[in-house]
Amino acid sequence: MSEIKRGNVDNNSNELNWQGKTKQNINRVKMWTLAWVISMALANFGPKFLWNQLESLTIAAITLNFLLGVGMIYANKIYIQNMDEMQKEIHLNSMAWTLGVGLIVGLSYSNLDVTNVISGPAQISHLILVMGVTNLIAIFVGSRRYK
């Protein structure tokens, strides 16, 4: 009987440890993402509003943005590695849909721009929006499928 209770304590302890690790990984992703977003704003608006187009500071801001982006990718990798198998499956499927939709929509959008079918230049922000929405929908659908 004591072995059964002891096993339950170990399982509860493992569950709490996993939840704590998951929370820590989520917070890590949040911090890296926030730092990356702030550095993106700095790289885009700094030259005009903060340092009067000084090229060396612009290059430094873009380099910082790039490096923080690499850190954000690594934080996401750690987060996904520590998911359970079902969560990994949901995220793998959502990433596949996001990559596929991003590639197809992005290239089609570029063709519309190159052939002057659309008025005005194609904006990368439109593609990022499509990819973000695709990812959210795919995670939602995947989560519902496994409930």
Summarised one tens digit per residue, pLDDT across range 25-76 is: 999 999 999 999 999 999 999 999 999 999 999 999 999 999 999 999 999 9
Q: Contact 92/137 with Cβ under 8 angstroms?
A: no
Q: Which residue has the higher pLDDT, 14 or 7?
A: 14
Question: Does residue 2 surpass a pLDDT of 80?
Answer: no
Q: Which residue has the higher pLDDT, 44 or 6?
A: 44
Longest dimension (CA), the chain: 76
Question: Does residue 84 surpass a pLDDT of 50?
Answer: yes
Q: What tokens appear for 105 in the block? A: 């929509």
For 114-144, the pLDDT digits (tens) are 999 999 899 999 999 999 999 999 999 999 9
Name the band, by pLDDT with cuts 50, 70 and 90, for residue 19.
Answer: confident
Q: What angle do CA 95, 97, 99 make, to 5 degrees?
A: 65
Residue spans per domain, the chain: 1-82, 84-147
Mean pLDDT score of the chain:
91
Name the band, by pLDDT with cuts 50, 70 and 90, for residue 18.
Answer: confident
Q: What tokens appear for 52 in the block? A: 């009067």
